[in-house]
Structure 1
Amino acid sequence: MIAGLALTPFDAAAILIVLAAALGYLNFRFLKLPSSIGLTIMGALASLIVVGLDRVFPGAGFGHDVVQFIAGIDFQTTLMDGMLSFLLFAGALHVDWHEMARGRWPILVLSTVGVVLSTLLVGGGFLLLSHMVGFEVPAIWCFVFGALISPTDPVSVMSVLKRADVSPALEATVAGESLFNDGVGVVVFSILLASAVSGEPFSVAHGAHLFAVEAGGGILLGLAIGWIAFRAMRSIDDYKVEVMISLAVVMGGYAIARPLHASGPVAMAVAGLIIGNAGVAHAMSDTTRDYLHKFWDLIDDILNTVLFLLIGLEVVTIPGDLRLLVLGVAAIPLALAARSLSVILPLRVIRPKHRYGLVAPVTLIWGGLRGGISIALALGLPDGPARSVILAATYVVVLFSVIVQGGTIKRVLEYLTAKETTR
């Protein structure tokens, strides 16, 4: 950013936090939009300002500095090995497993079969769309895009449901499905990405074996570290130590997941459920409970603020090719259609005679927002010709999802609820 000075990891973190705090203040003070929507819009505006300054003052190199800054961040390590663990644990803390148990079969099927089905539908459709637009994207990379765009963001989903009047059971089902489809989606993404990077043909049998090992190992690891943390918290009453234990679960648990070949995201989701339910109910005082939730809410807000800011700034790094915009716009109905089919078909199979009405499917489909998780996975892609294509499509889909879907879901659900009650 500054000639002659190397940008350290602390410098990068400092720049992002300062920008996020400034934009968060401006949004709260003037725009007064929900944070995810406001920060995404302001991040996009900030990137457009950088592009505009680059055009007006071509010798200043604003765009080049931003590109160099973003390129200097090790997203693979920072996001995949850092942010994801915190985001998924924080999301799991707020999911009520008693309500979630009532929708356990839809959650199980949608977060596994639904994610795989959506990955296949999006990947196949993206392959056709990219070739129609003029990009020769290899098939395996199209399915990598399908895997990263299929999971819904639990934080964005829960923030939307808080503004919409839905039943606790439906809220828990949507939140639980979103939470676990993230863990499963990251496993599918990692398997496909490894195949894409290696250049070896993808084997369904090998992929299924890796999926079973990583997902199963993640569940067992999450149960183990969640139980240990629960027992430790129940034996003491000190909010500082108990909050520190929760932090140790996330950082220590995620660190040991890799050598065990277990899925860290799945482990964090399971551990978060245990601590957020059994831990909160039986191992904490009111003071500890209050501090724990406030601590993780703050961590959650900070990380999502940085991610949504990066969504906007990332547009500066995408090549100025109109075909990328066309492909990104075309990917929006593709992602929505895949989400619709991956929700409706599994639900019809497990409960063929059940009448769902309109509110539940629409909540799962239109309320299934893409957000920080998809951006984190896209930013972590290795350099290559497919990266800019996938980044552009991810950027447009997430922007539409956060702003349009997130901004209208409350009114859509209010309309459908009123319509159903008048029947």
Structure 2
Amino acid sequence: MSINQTIVLLLIGYLIFTLDKKQENLPVPMILVFIGIGLSFLPYFSTIEVTEHLIYHVFLPALLFVSAYRFSPEGFKRNSQLIIFLASIGIIVTVGILGAAIYAVSGPFLSLSLTGAMLMAAVLTPTDPVSVVSILKNSTSDDKMADVVEGESLLNDGTSIVIFSVLMGMYTGKSDVSLLSFFGEFLLVSLGGIALGVTFGWLISKGVHYTHNREYQVMLSIVLAYGIFNLAEYIGVSGVLAVVSAGLMLSVEYGRTIKEEHFKETLDGFWGVVETSALSLLFLLIGVEAAGYLVSTLWGLAAVVFLLSIVVRFIVIAGSTQLFPNWRRKISWRESALLTWAGLKGTMSIFLILSFEAEVDGGGSFTALAFAVVIISLILQSVGVAPISKKLLKA
């Protein structure tokens, strides 16, 4: 992607986000994806190549860091048990149930092994609340739903990558993983990433506290976001959970010890521009990349798989919240339904699809089906969040 192409895409993205500032319920991701699909037919944009490396190492660290840094420590504390459950045990159970369901229905349409079906479920399970969080906050008077959706998505990205990596090894025959070794690797990679992020997040927060130059403070946050991500990946633990933990730690320490108001204004201003720029480019690029799969003959199966993903997610959320009295009092079936619908698929799913495509020489029907499900999710769920939230949670 050239500099000129990047500038044009940024201009388009900024114009759409300007409309979103005036119309708070505008489904920006869907609009950007549609525009990206249209741009793919123009010769000027035909040379753009979207890779898993571009998404994972360029876009993801920044988006994860800004979301984690801005995430309310109080909101996380109030809903921490539910968030951690949904992002760990919840996502593992979802992959198992959804994978079995995909395997059961795919037979007449697609030759897919049980491991392949589980892999498809792992690709489609991570959530991406981009713009959904702000819509939820505007549609309801309670921040609880937005906090749970955002907190879950921050943590389940790391869980999804671990599950995907293990299943990918089994699918390609490069590893034969037992249940015990799976959970051992899961704990090592996850807890290692969290420990690394908390440690360096705390250290950088102290550096920020004692640095009175605003430019240096912003520079330290950039080093933290990208440095901790790449360090974690280099030593073999979760870079996603490392950068999320570091961002959350910086947020906690900021609220506890850092009093310079000018730092908050500078940091928010810088990362606000980064976030809007990254999201603009990312969803336009998703549209450009998805255009090649629009001729897929698997749209019917994709619709079925999408519906299955919604049903399974609702079963897991509603079932788990009913198991524990404390959660039962906090989350009604209506709120479970809203949490289900708000968990649309996005950035992480696209990264995992492209990773599969690179690993399995094109990906074939698997990639086409997964892309179709993600596009359906982005369109229907982003459009439906505002009216569904108002209907379900109306007084």
1:105 aligns with 2:81: yes
2:5 paired residue number: 15
Q: Deviations over 1:54-98 (max 9, x none)?
A: xxxxxxxx59x83x642xx5x232222332222211111121121
Write the letter of the residue equivalent to 1:219.
I
Q: CA deviation at 1:341?
A: 1.7
1:402 to 363, 374, 378: 378
Q: Which of the residues 235, 250, 253 maps onto 2:228?
A: 253
Instruction: Work out which of the residue numbers 299, 315, 327 in structure 2 matches 1:325.
Output: 299
> Which structure has the bigger radius of gyration?
1
Q: Which amino acid aligns with 1:15?
A: Q
Specify whether residues 280 and 18 from structure 1 end up closer, same or farther in structure 2 by C-alpha distance, changes over 3 A only.
farther
CA deviation after TM superposition for structure 1 residue 217, in Å: 0.1
Paired residue for 1:242? 217
Matching residue of 1:56: none
Range 226-235 or range 144-153, more displaced: 144-153
1:417 is aligned to 393
Is 1:339 the equivalent of 2:305? Answer: no
CA gap of 1:40–1:120, structure 2 versus 1, over 3 A, is same
Question: What amino acid maps onto 1:38 in structure 2?
Answer: I
2:149 counterpart residue number: 174
Superposition map of 1:130-169 within 5 A: 130-133=106-109, 135-169=110-144
Distance verdict in 2 for CA 1:392–1:204, change over 3 Å: same
Among 104, 108, 120, the residue aligned to 1:128: 104
Q: Distance in 2 between matches of 1:386 and 1:327?
A: 20
Q: Is the 8 A contact 2:16 2:28 kept in 1?
A: no
Separation of aligned partners in 1, 2:112 and 2:3? 33
- Three-state SS of the structure 1 residue aligned to 2:71 is coil
Q: Return the alpha-carbon distance in structure 1 between the equivalents of residues 81 and 346 of structure 2.
A: 25
Amino acid at match of 1:387: G
Is the 1:332–1:396 contact (alpha carbons within 8 Å) kept by the matching residues of 2? no
**Which residue of 299, 308, 328 corresponds with 1:354?**
328
Match of 2:354 in 1: 379
Distance across 2 between alignment mates of 1:17 and 1:139: 44
- What code does the residue aligned with 1:25 have? L
Offset at 1:281? 5.1
Question: Which aligned pairs between 1:223-302 and structure 2 lie closer than 5 A?
Answer: 223-280=198-255, 282-283=257-258, 285-302=260-277
Alignment partners' CA distance in 2, 1:386 and 1:334: 25
Measured after TM superposition, the shift of residue 154 of structure 1 is: 3.8
Deviation of the 1:375 alpha carbon: 1.4
How far, CA to CA, are the matches of 1:146 and 1:334 in structure 2?
10
Alpha-carbon distance in 2 for matches of 1:321, 1:107: 36
CA–CA separation in structure 2 for the residues paired with 1:386 and 1:124? 24
Partners of 1:313 and 1:125 lie apart in 2 by 30
- Change in Cα spacing, 1:156 to 1:370, as seen in structure 2 (3 Å) is farther
Give distance in 1, aligned partners of 2:105 and 2:259.
Answer: 52
User: What percent of counterpart residues are identical?
Assistant: 24
What is the distance in 2 between the residues matched to 1:142 and 1:14?
40
- 1:240–1:171: structure 2 CA closer, same or farther, 3 Å change rule? same
Q: Residue 393 of structure 2 aligns to a residue in which SS? A: helix
> Could you tell me whether the CA contact under 8 Å between 2:27 and 2:131 is conserved in 1?
no
1: distance between equivalents of 2:249 and 2:9? 35
Whole-angstrom distance in 2 between the partners of 1:144 and 1:284: 46
- 2:343 aligns with 368
Q: Secondary structure at the match of 2:176?
A: coil
The range that moved more, 165-174 or 260-269, is 165-174
Instruction: Return 94-103 or 376-385, whichever deviates more.
Output: 376-385
State the shift of 1:18 in Å: 2.2
TM-score if structure 1 supplies the norm length?
0.84
1:210 corresponds to which residue?
185
Give the gaps of 5 or more residues in structure 1.
1-10, 54-61
Once the two structures are TM-superposed, the CA of residue 108 in structure 1 deviates from its matched residue by 1.5
SS in 1 for 2:234: coil
Question: Which amino acid in the other structure matches residue 19 of structure 1?
Answer: L
| Alpha carbons of structure 1 residues 299 and 144: separation in structure 2 relative to 1, 3 Å | farther
Asked if the contact 1:79–1:380 (Cα under 8 Å) also holds between the matched residues in 2, the reply is no
Read off the aligned partner of 1:76 and give its amino acid letter. Answer: E
Separation in 2, partners of 1:13, 1:153:
27
CA spacing shift, 1:146–1:394, aligned 2, 3 Å: same
Q: Which moved more, 1:21-30 or 1:301-310?
A: 21-30
Distance 2:39 2:104 in 1: 33
SS, match of residue 328 in structure 2 = coil
Q: Structure 1 residue 270: deviation in Å?
A: 0.8
- 8 Å CA contact retained: 1:115, 1:184: yes
Residue identity opposite 2:187 in structure 1 = A
After TM superposition, list the pairs within 5 Å mapping 1:31-42 onto structure 2: 33-42=26-35
Distance (Å, rounded) in 2 between the aligned partners of 1:122 and 1:376 = 20
Amino acid at match of 2:278: L
Distance apart, 1:181 and its partner CA: 1.4
Q: More displaced, 373-382 or 92-101?
A: 373-382
1:116 equivalent in alignment to 2:92: yes
